[in-house]
Amino acid sequence: MPHSYAEHKEWMLGKYLAIRPRGVLDIGVGAGTYARLMRPHFRSHWTGIEVWAPYIEQFDLLSKYDAVIVADVLHLDIDTLSPRPTLAIAGDVLEHMPKAAAIGQIARLKEWVDDILISIPLGEMPQGSVNGNQYESHLATWEHEEMLEALGGNVVDAIKGKALGAYHWSARSA
């Protein structure tokens, strides 16, 4: 769904405020939840990546982001983005790709940015296509320990809730 559970949103906001990134790459923006939550607190450059083009108009994403790119993040080279983001947010998106692809994406993000914030459903949460959007299908199930392992070292903080897990990885904690 283009919206997500409210669980851990305040935790994510607190991390964002502590990081104070120059630029943000919001992956799988859906309805623009994180931009709406975080951007009012201070100004940084926000780039949204959304694979489903109809969401741009449906959720007025151009008013929430400095740039919106319609692309599958698995095939996007963020080295071409300007300004270069220092924070990537993968909010309720990694479950929409095969687990091996998500692990690969995490590894790519770790090379590109200083900090990563992830929110992801934990345990079985089956979901198929939503309103004709096949990209909304859940292709992988994650457990808390699996996400910690996928992130490897430098996990600054993590929280496990009833529905979601939230994670902060930072290159600076090495």
Structural domains in the chain plus CATH codes: 9-173 (3.40.50.150)
* Interatomic CA distance for residues 90 and 120, integer angstroms: 8
Per-residue model confidence as pLDDT tens for the chain (174 residues) = 444 657 799 999 999 999 999 999 999 998 999 999 999 998 899 999 998 899 899 999 999 999 999 998 888 887 888 888 999 999 988 887 889 999 999 999 999 999 999 998 997 665 545 566 555 655 677 889 998 999 998 999 999 998 899 999 999 875
Evaluate if pTM is beyond 0.85: yes
Taking each helix axis as running N to C, give the angle between helix 144-151 and helix 99-112, from 0 to 180 degrees, rounded to the nearest 10.
40
* Interatomic CA distance for residues 76 and 48, integer angstroms: 12
In the numeric block, the tokens 């923006």 are attached to: 29
3-class secondary-structure state, position 116: strand
